A and B are shown apart, each in its own frame.
Chain A
Amino acid sequence: MSAPEIFPVFRHRHLLGIAGLTPPDIETLLDRAEGFVELSRQADKKRATLRGRTQINLFFEASTRTQASFELAGKRLGADVMNMSVGNSSVKKGETLIDTAMTLNAMHPDILIIRHSSAGAAALLAQKVSCSVVNAGDGPHEHPTQALLDALTIRRAKGRIAGLVVAICGDVLHSRVARSNILLLNALGAEVRVVAPSTLLPAGVSRMGAIPFTRMEDGLADADVVMMLRLQRERMEGGFVPSVREYFRHFGLDARKLAIARQDALVMHPGPMNRGVEIASEIADGPQSVIERQVEMGVAIRMAVMEALLDPRRNDGNLAA
């Protein structure tokens, strides 16, 4: 194995969002992850970087995929990983959050991975514990590792991010993936578009750094990347859109709509997909789809993030929050 590359020390104690990261912070995380992509493709996938460190996955919302990705990332780095699936029990969520945080903190973990249905939950947790916290999704706010893995996927396929046209399509209003991606892609110089019916666009979206479109035909023109978002079932039965079939007709990604984008456009989806709702199966499984590649990049990015946060060269006293 070649000598490990030397990366600059990550300045942050937590990864709560893309907001607050500088372009060099982001580039460094992507560069770190490149090495882990290679490592994960080898027969021996393990490193001892985090040996003796304890990682706790605290998931208040069920998410098999994200939790498995973080777990695998931690184990490949040699950490002891513990999964706490708190779920959405009858206990009031917030009480559980703080109470659980204090309990876990007493166990001296080195890193906490949290998924919660409320925006700001990761930030609240970070105030109460003495270890690093990674936001694995807080309500409709942010999901930074998803945006990072999306960026890594795009960069590896296109060789760059600056100057690309990225169309984020679907339920932008409720999407933490959209928010984190808008921030990250803007930071790295892409042109970001959001495409959705107006009921699924957040107020002030154009001032968030995304150009809004309400027709796929317009929003996908010249797009280098088409990023589809999941639409929750309960939101498509009259609440925000009238029906599944009407939504799929106008906003579902099928061959006809994809043809409007660039011929070499990438098709992405954070998963889990609703086939036939936001994306046609033939597209999801088609040659332009990098959806499986995103899953692979997810593990590498999470390894990079955890390694960066637990870098032994760090002197906590000199770090930004």
Chain B
Amino acid sequence: MNRRPLFIEQARIVDPSRGIDEIGTVVVAGGQIAAAGASALNQGAPEAAERIDGRGKLVIPGLVDARVHVGEPGAEHRETIESASRAAAAGGGPPFVMMPDTQPVIDDVALVEFVRRTARDTAIVNVHPAGAITKGLEGREMAEFALMAQAGAVCFTEGRRTVDSALVMRRALTYARDFDAVIAHETHDRALAGQGVMNEGLFASMLGLSGIPREAEVIPLERDLRLAALTGGRYHAAKISCAMSAEAIARAKAAGAGVTAGVSINHLSLNENDIGEYRTFFKLSPPLRAEEDRQAMIAALADGTIDIVVSAHDPQDVDTKRLPFSEAENGAIGLETLLAAGLRLVHNGDVSLMRLVETLSTAPAKLFGLPGGTLRTGAVADLAIVDIDEPWVVDVNELHSRSKNTAFEGARFQGRVLQTLVGGRTVYSRG
């Protein structure tokens, strides 16, 4: 157990919770942040502290990834809670919120406790279960929100699925409001999407693949936003992908609804052209959209319409990916490439480093009521030490995830996690 105090000198500290971007010193003791900032520059190192030369390095609060699919229980060959936690640690990102669409579905207290117990016994980062909105993800009967919340579920979501019934959604938002729970929802109108497997448009037509119109995302999203306004519930649009959705969120926020929105790093980094010759690792839900949509996502991230960025980590094996495109499953892994892909946006001048860290760490921690996301004195010492300029190329064989379906294979990144701390303990260190 590395519980020695840690003393990081002369590092660049970016802490959106205090609006700080300055050269300073970080002191970690007893699993907590003892000090972090320029004001600590003249502070002496605690006795027996491990000293780290922070010059040229960046210290940020650890990422908080609010949308991670794991194969456990039910598909452990794709990913276990343990392997996902290693991937998260290597990505600089404890803790994460685990989606409930497993087998069995995490829709009752026993399953929430199973995840918590397994995480406690095997994971090296904190894993927070999300509970299902409806029993068995069937979209009919509400799951036991209050009991699951008491057991540790941090929000409620149908994972990859959408609640089709407006009535069920209305009741879920109304009921969850009573104990301030967030309903996080991906919107996908199955009937309108039909047999679609990628974004509708010229490119899909050329490939002979059925298209999914943007309206299949926006129509149920607009419905949900109206229900959020009606009920006063806390609604989080979990994975928006197109300009129209961003406009809908902006309108709802302007009208004063308590809604938030998330976007996956994939939809900030990639577009439909990346599918190329039927590359199934780029088959995602929602589908990768046009370049204009990607640009709109970046703009919405920068202007605050979008609140958080997620990896949407979704491990899939060859048995679900090495198929003709229309038969393959959706999803790509992303825990380990989340920060590097985000830094690409910073290096390109699309968003500021402060805003990126806020949307990857501070905002999701706050939204889901999780510890972390800050380097305030007294906060839990979840942090990442990053070389913001180090160039590297993604090698799938080096990834910790059990599945290798990354959309960033061979990608050239600038910026890499050097060390990750959870509760003051080093859970990942490179080199």
Contacts and interface: CB of A to CB of B under 8 A. Distances in A.
Interface of A: 19, 92-95, 97-98, 116, 118-121, 123-124, 138-142, 176, 179, 202-205, 207-208
Contacts of A203: 200-202, 204-205, 211
A120 B321 CA distance: 13
B349 interface: no
19 contacts: A19-B206, A93-B327, A94-B327, A95-B319, A95-B323, A97-B323, A98-B323, A116-B324, A118-B326, A119-B209, A119-B325, A120-B208, A138-B324, A141-B209, A202-B205, A204-B205, A207-B202, A208-B205, A208-B206
Q: Which of B204, B210, B319, B324 has the most CB of A within 10 A?
A: B324
A205 B277 CA distance: 19
B207 interface: yes
Nearest to B210: A140
Interface in B251-305: 277-278
Contacts of B210: 140
B77 interface: no
Given A123-B278, A124-B278, A205 B324 contact: no
A123 B278 CA distance: 8
Instruction: Give 10 closest A-B pairs by Cβ, nearest first.
Output: A141-B208, A204-B202, A94-B323, A120-B278, A118-B324, A202-B205, A119-B208, A140-B208, A94-B327, A121-B324
A141 B207 contact: yes
Contacts of A121: 324
A176 B208 contact: yes
Contact of A204 (B201, B208, B277, B323): B201
A208 B207 CA distance: 11
Given A119-B278, A120-B277, A203-B211, A93 B324 contact: yes
Nearest to B328: A94
Contacts of A123: 277-278
B190 interface: no
B208 A179 contact: yes
A118 B325 contact: yes
Contacts of B207: 119-120, 141
A120 B322 CA distance: 12
B200 A179 contact: no
Given A203-B200, A203-B211, A120 B205 contact: no
A208 B324 contact: no
A123 B209 CA distance: 14
A206 B193 CA distance: 22
B7 to A, nearest CB: 52
B208 A208 contact: no
A126 B123 CA distance: 41
Nearest to B319: A95
A155 B143 CA distance: 67
Interface string B172-214: 0000000000000000000000000000111111111111000
Given A138-B208, A203-B211, A120 B324 contact: yes
B206 A179 contact: yes
Nearest to B197: A119
Interface string B306-326: 000000000000010011111
A136 to B, nearest CB: 14
Given A95-B323, A119-B208, A123-B277, 11 more contacts: A92-B327, A94-B324, A98-B323, A118-B325, A119-B207, A119-B209, A120-B208, A120-B278, A120-B325, A141-B207, A203-B201
A119 B326 CA distance: 7
Contacts of A98: 322-323
Contact of B324 (A97, A142, A202, A207): A97
Contact of B327 (A19, A118, A204): A118
Nearest to A127: B277
A202 B209 CA distance: 10
A143 to B, nearest CB: 10
Nearest to B318: A98
A207 to B, nearest CB: 5
Contacts of B323: 94-95, 97-98, 124
B202 to A, nearest CB: 3
Contacts of B206: 19, 179, 208
A133 B19 CA distance: 59
A203 B214 CA distance: 13
A270 B183 CA distance: 52
A121 B207 CA distance: 11
Contacts of B204: 202-203
Nearest to A205: B205
A205 B203 CA distance: 10
B135 to A, nearest CB: 28
B211 to A, nearest CB: 6
B200 A142 contact: no
Nearest to B202: A204
A116 to B, nearest CB: 7
A202 B326 CA distance: 17
Given A202-B205, A204-B205, A124 B324 contact: yes
B95 to A, nearest CB: 36
Contacts of A176: 208
Contacts of B278: 119-120, 123-124
A204 B208 CA distance: 12
B223 to A, nearest CB: 24
Contacts of A92: 327
A98 B205 CA distance: 25
Nearest to B194: A239
Among B200, B205, B210, B277, the most chain A Cβ lie within 10 Å of the Cβ of: B205
Contact of A139 (B200, B201, B208, B211): B208
